[in-house]
């Protein structure tokens, strides 16, 4: 049963968030009206009040303490002074973006049947007109009135008891709400689906594992396609000129024993480009064919227009969990460039088509095989950033992080984990002073800046421990990111120099974002179980 807790009706009667406003989000940088800032997913802001010269004057303004002990991974939305976020697993909160005063809370208790592999979390919301949309960990898509929090409709996207869940912020395209299913570790058959924003009626569905008679079905041996995973964990992107929406697809299942699924296993570990009106596949690019390391490609597709070898091209920048970053032509899917951005030992490199050249001895084994990157990848779901101002692509990286991959037998049973292995780190768990004194050989977190045109690393900012923070850049050449150590940093986006830091007392595991209210710019980030909001000292 749904529960609604109305603490106070929001007084701000903002204008309708039309799709035209979403497409032109850069024209109103005071707001943050989609998960990655814009449909291009650059996580770059044009706000300019906070600069390298004055960032040292940032001070904490308010804190929202979530009534949850789960990870706080949601990126808030801000619309005309009202901030919306999700306290895990699925409670929507509306508050005053300037003061943190709560207007209303919509409480959603997920079904006891909900199965999740990696925490009962939610990464955010979508908004269209005056309606908010949220996916739930028990496989529902819910529409709420943005002014009051009252539910409008609730549809079942997939069966929770079979392992299906929704973790990411939905994507709005025209009059549709697009979501994808997580649950690959439970042997689901993943899919993306679009729903009518007004009624909740399904408009189209694209299975991320092709069925019998579909192109690509032959890349799955036997009946392995039925439980092959290929989840969706992170919000996609959209190009209105091409009318294509782009999504990263997760690993095949079982994760670490590929003996029964011979073939490339499309469209796992791929980016798919779908017609936004019909859901029809226009092109795909597979980063890690026949993956047996859990290198799922559930990263954010970052879209940019740049000169490429003397020609203006629509490109896609992709920092992949497998340790390589890629530049693709987003019109055709053509591979333009791919280079490692962290230690890689499972392949000797990429061929001219961008396909990895596998090392025969680098595979999960009964006794265990040490491979880099490790099971969490060289990066993961947390957002990179591209700054058109600097021209750099910024990646939160796990360096020298490996895992010992082993494989075990696995039989599919609905509702049970279907992973066939248990990777482990070669480095014992480190805590306290051990983390601060760990050697680089034991793995560390680092923000790296690259020139995507040349592949040249421009700078790096090292941390004592690995990080699950997303990255925010601004037009004033600031970069914001956090870490597991409990710090939130502002760096010079051109040089990587540290300009400011704040202790937030917990791991930063979300994407920082920025907005302004009444001409005052704020920076917000989640850490531990709280949302922290900063602004310049007045």
Cite the active site residues.
294
CB-based contacts of 293: which residues, under 8 Å, 6+ apart?
256, 322, 346, 364, 371, 375, 405
Beta-bridged to residue 489, according to DSSP, are: 481, 501
SS (H, E, C) 406-468: ECCCCCCCCCCCCCCCCCECCCCCCCCHHHHCCCHHHCEEEEEEECCCCCCEEEEEECCCCCC
Q: What are the tokens at 344?
A: 């890689």
Please answer whether residues 430 and 484 qualify as being in contact, where contact means their C-beta atoms are separated by less than 8 angstroms.
no
CA distances from 480 to 22, 398, 415, 487 (A): 23, 17, 39, 11
Cα distance between residue 174 and residue 421, in whole Å: 42
Pair type for strands 131-135 and 324-329: unpaired
Chain centroid offset of residue 319 CA:
11
Please answer whether residues 165 and 137 qualify as being in contact, where contact means their C-beta atoms are separated by less than 8 angstroms.
yes
Q: What are the tokens at 354?
A: 């961008």
Cα distance between residue 77 and residue 68, in whole Å: 19
CB-based contacts of 234: which residues, under 8 Å, 6+ apart?
123, 168, 248, 298, 299, 300, 381
Give the burial class of 76: count Cβ atoms within 10 A of its Cβ; 0-12 exposed, 13-18 middle, 19 or more buried.
buried
Cα distance between residue 361 and residue 369, in whole Å: 9
Cα distance between residue 378 and residue 321, in whole Å: 5
Which among 63, 61, 112, 57 has a CA at the least distance from the CA of 89? 112
Give the up-direction half-sphere exposure of residue 43: CA atoms within 13 A in the CB hemisphere.
33
Cα distance between residue 167 and residue 74, in whole Å: 10
């Amino acid at each position: 049963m749904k529960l609604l807790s109305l603490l106070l009706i929001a007084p701000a009667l903002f204008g309708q968030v039309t799709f035209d406003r979403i497409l032109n989000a850069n024209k109103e940088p005071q707001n943050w009206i989609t998960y990655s800032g814009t449909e291009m997913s650059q996580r770059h802001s044009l706000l300019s009040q906070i600069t390298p010269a004055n960032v040292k004057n940032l001070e904490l303004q308010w804190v929202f303490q979530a009534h949850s002990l789960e990870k706080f991974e949601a990126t808030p939305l801000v619309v005309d002074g009202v901030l919306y976020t999700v306290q895990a697993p699925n409670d929507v909160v509306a508050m005053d973006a300037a003061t943190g005063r709560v207007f209303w809370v919509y409480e959603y208790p997920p079904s006891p049947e909900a199965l999740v592999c990696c925490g009962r979390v939610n990464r955010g919301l979508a908004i269209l007109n005056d309606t908010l949309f949220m996916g739930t960990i028990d496989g529902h898509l819910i529409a709420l009135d943005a002014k009051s929090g009252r539910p409008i409709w609730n549809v079942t996207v997939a069966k929770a008891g079979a392992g299906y869940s929704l973790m990411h912020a939905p994507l709005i395209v025209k009059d549709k709400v697009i979501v994808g299913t997580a649950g690959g570790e439970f042997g689901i058959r993943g899919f993306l689906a679009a729903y009518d924003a007004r009624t909740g009626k399904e408009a189209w569905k694209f299975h991320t594992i092709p069925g019998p008679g579909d192109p690509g079905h032959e890349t799955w041996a036997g009946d392995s396609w039925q439980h092959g995973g290929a989840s969706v964990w992170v919000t996609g992107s959209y190009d209105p000129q091409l009318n294509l929406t782009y999504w990263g697809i997760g690993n095949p299942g079982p994760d670490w024993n590929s003996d029964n699924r011979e073939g490339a296993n499309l469209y796992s570990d791929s980016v798919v480009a779908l017609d936004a009106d019909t859901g029809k596949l226009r092109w795909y690019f597979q980063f890690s064919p026949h993956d047996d390391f859990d290198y799922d490609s559930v990263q954010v597709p970052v879209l940019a227009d740049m000169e490429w070898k003397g020609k203006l091209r629509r490109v896609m920048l992709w920092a992949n969990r497998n340790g390589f970053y890629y530049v693709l032509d987003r019109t055709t899917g053509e591979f333009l460039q791919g280079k490692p951005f962290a230690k890689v030992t499972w392949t000797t490199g990429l061929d001219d088509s961008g396909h990895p050249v596998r090392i025969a001895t680098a595979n999960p084994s009964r006794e265990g095989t040490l491979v880099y990157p490790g099971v969490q990848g060289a990066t993961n779901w947390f957002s990179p950033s591209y700054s058109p101002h600097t021209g750099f692509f910024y990646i939160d990286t796990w360096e020298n992080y490996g895992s010992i991959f082993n494989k075990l037998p696995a039989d599919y049973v609905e509702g049970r984990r279907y992973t066939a292995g248990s990777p482990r780190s070669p480095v014992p768990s480190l805590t306290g002073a051990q983390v601060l004194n760990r050697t680089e050989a034991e793995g560390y977190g680092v923000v790296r800046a690259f020139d995507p045109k040349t592949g040249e690393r421009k700078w790096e900012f090292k941390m004592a421990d690995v990080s699950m923070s997303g990255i925010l850049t601004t037009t004033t050449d600031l970069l914001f990111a956090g870490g597991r150590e409990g710090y939130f940093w502002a760096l010079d986006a051109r040089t990587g120099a540290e300009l400011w830091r704040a202790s937030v007392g917990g791991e930063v595991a979300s994407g920082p974002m920025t907005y302004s209210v009444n001409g005052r710019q704020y920076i917000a980030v989640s850490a531990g179980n709280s949302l922290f909001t900063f602004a310049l000292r007045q």
